[in-house]
Amino acid sequence: MRDIHFEAGRLPGRAVLAVRGPEAGHFLHNLLTADIEGLAEGVASYAALLSPQGKILSDMLVQRQGGDFLIDCALGQRDSLLKRLQLYRLRARIEISALDEPVSVSPAEKPGFYRDPRVPEIGWRRTGGAPEPEARGYDAARIRLGLADSGADLGSGEFFPHEANLDQLGGVSFTKGCYIGQEVVSRMEHRGTARSRILPVVLGAGAPPKGTAIRAGERQVGTLLSSAGPDALALIRLDRLGEAGEPLLADATPVNVLKPRWARFDVPGAEGAA
């Protein structure tokens, strides 16, 4: 396991929405990929709102506080997510609002913080509370762990949940009832058709820009996403990775693909564990 270090503090790229009311849990449960009604008090789940075609419009962390739910989402997606939730509200007895509250992280447990549900190494989170200095080293830590960021990596309408590893990180329930995009996600799960995955990679020298193609000879194997120093994330075609007969390069930069410790799928030719 490679060293994971970051300092506690605020994440300036995150925002908070609140969904309140007697039908809040049922409302979110029917929209999002995760089991929201099954959340215990103070516990959070990774989840996403999908398009009808099964692609991620917004990913988020949803925390239960009594009968209310707080949504930790990307600041750049806050307004669009708020509008989409309000569109689906119809006659549900709920209130949806944006809160002027910070999102903070900590590598160790603190009062008022909840465990990040994705992987233990990424620590603890809090919505609200006193303002803190900006967290340092967090992006490098999440990239080393193979965790994609809403804004820096995923965007909106670009990735299926399996490609972003929501199925590996507790962000998809395959036992609950229907939600938007559920048929596509279930088909990918049961047919095993997730050919592409976001994976951590190590770059040999420098960091080519996001969007740079990763090739084995003339054949494209993946696409570079966000980076921090020599560490980066990339969308990798697993079938092509297994067939690669030449070293991987992003422009002239060597690329080594790693298999995250949390991954339950095979990564052909991975050179180590993230």
> What CATH number is associated with residue 56?
3.30.1360.120
Confidence of residue 271 (pLDDT cuts 50, 70, 90): low
pLDDT for res 222 = 97
Q: Domain for residue 225, yes or no?
A: yes
pLDDT for res 160 = 98
Q: Domain for residue 265, yes or no?
A: no
Output the pTM of the full model: 0.95
Q: Domain for residue 183, yes or no?
A: yes
One-letter identity of residue 169: L
Percent of the chain, pLDDT > 70?
A: 98
Helix axes 24-31, 78-89, angle to 10 degrees: 110
Q: What is the distance between the alpha carbons of residues 130 and 103, in angstroms, rounded to a whole number?
A: 10
Picking from 138, 162, 188, the residue at the C-terminal end of a domain is 188
Q: What is the distance between the alpha carbons of residues 128 and 14, in angstroms, rounded to a whole number?
A: 11
Within this chain, do residues 91 and 19 fall inside the same structural domain, yes or no?
yes
- Rg for the chain, CA atoms, rounded: 19
Domain that holds residue 247: 195-257
DSSP 187: H
pLDDT for res 123 = 98
Q: What is the distance between the alpha carbons of residues 62 and 271, in angstroms, rounded to a whole number?
A: 34
Q: Domain for residue 215, yes or no?
A: yes
pLDDT for res 205 = 83
Q: Domain for residue 13, yes or no?
A: yes
Instruction: For tokens 């420098």, name the residue.
Output: 206
Q: What is the distance between the alpha carbons of residues 40 and 47, in angstroms, rounded to a whole number?
A: 15
Within this chain, do residues 107 and 219 fall inside the same structural domain, yes or no?
no
Number of domains in the chain: 2
Within this chain, do residues 35 and 98 fall inside the same structural domain, yes or no?
yes
Nearby residues of 49 by Cβ (< 8 Å), 6 or more positions away: 31, 32, 33, 56, 57, 58, 60, 81, 84, 85, 180
User: Mean pLDDT of all residues in the chain?
Assistant: 95
pLDDT tens-digit readout, 149-183: 999 999 999 999 999 999 999 999 999 889 999 99
Within this chain, do residues 184 and 199 fall inside the same structural domain, yes or no?
no
Q: Domain for residue 273, yes or no?
A: no
pLDDT for res 192 = 81
